[in-house]
Amino acid sequence: MAHYQATIEYDGTAFHGFQRQATVRTVQAVLETQLAQLQGGGAVTVRGAGRTDAGVHARGQVVAFALSWRKTADELHHALNTLLPDDLSVASLAPCRADFHPRYEALSRRYRYTVLNTPQRHALQQRFAWHERRPLDVVGMAEAAQGLVGEHDFASFGRPMTVDGPTVRHMMALTVARHGDLIQIELEANAFLFRMVRSIVGALLRVGRGDAPVAWIEALLAARDRSQNSTVVGPQGLCLIAVRYPSDPT
């Protein structure tokens, strides 16, 4: 049995998230089905670095698995991409330690949320960007975002994956930048709460529209009250960009 680490990318539009579920199509289930076919049958378990929600995309999701495979890693890479559907592919693949766990060994995850800021929608952006018709104050959004950098209790922006789990997270970086009609919000943290990124973006959009002052973000953070921040933007603008590990170059 050989052990492999892979970086995968997917268009999350037609997936009900990463994690395997009994009755719907997920990234983990599709990967496991095709890997089992490559070894001639028998269950394969894929471990992922993060559980992206339904409709969320990835460019740098990291997975690990064990497989009965007698050929090279390059041949496995090619064979797997041949079998996978058009909305899921393997960007890189290599042998790894038998005990490597992409989730527990990760130092941080980096997400990017894309907002299309135009009066009218664009058909080619609908799967990958949230459309905001009103003009946005990107400078104000960027200023407000800095109040979320550092170690904080993010209870106002999401909930833990387990009941009564911790809500403290370390936000290493949070930037807001305009690139023509697109506004990109990038966030890097040691871990994220459920829907935390989409809630942060929703709050920053309130500041950008002028519906809330810059200082409101820090007040919301200090409140540690999820009921004060009910705005959650859609999943289509969100993409897992990268997962960082201790072995990565600095």
Supply the residues annotated as catalytic. 53
Tell me the two tokens of residue 128: 């990958």
Helix and strand counts by DSSP (H, E) for the chain: 5, 10
Question: Which residues make Cβ contacts (< 8 Å) with residue 67, sequence separation at least 6?
Answer: 1, 2, 3, 4, 35, 38, 39, 44, 76
Q: State how far the Cα of 168 lies from the Cα of 187, in Å rounded to an integer.
A: 15
Rounded to 10 deg, the angle between the 73-83 and 27-38 helix axes is: 120
- Pairing, β 57-67 against β 238-244: parallel
Q: State how far the Cα of 4 lies from the Cα of 147, in Å rounded to an integer.
A: 39
Among the listed residues 226, 158, 243, 231, the one whose alpha carbon sits nearest the alpha carbon of residue 194: 158
Task: Name the CA radius of gyration of the chain, rounded.
Answer: 19
Q: Is 164 exposed, middle or buried (0-12, 13-18, 19+ CB in 10 A)?
A: exposed
Which residue type occupies 21?
Q
Among the listed residues 207, 180, 187, 176, the one whose alpha carbon sits nearest the alpha carbon of residue 116: 180
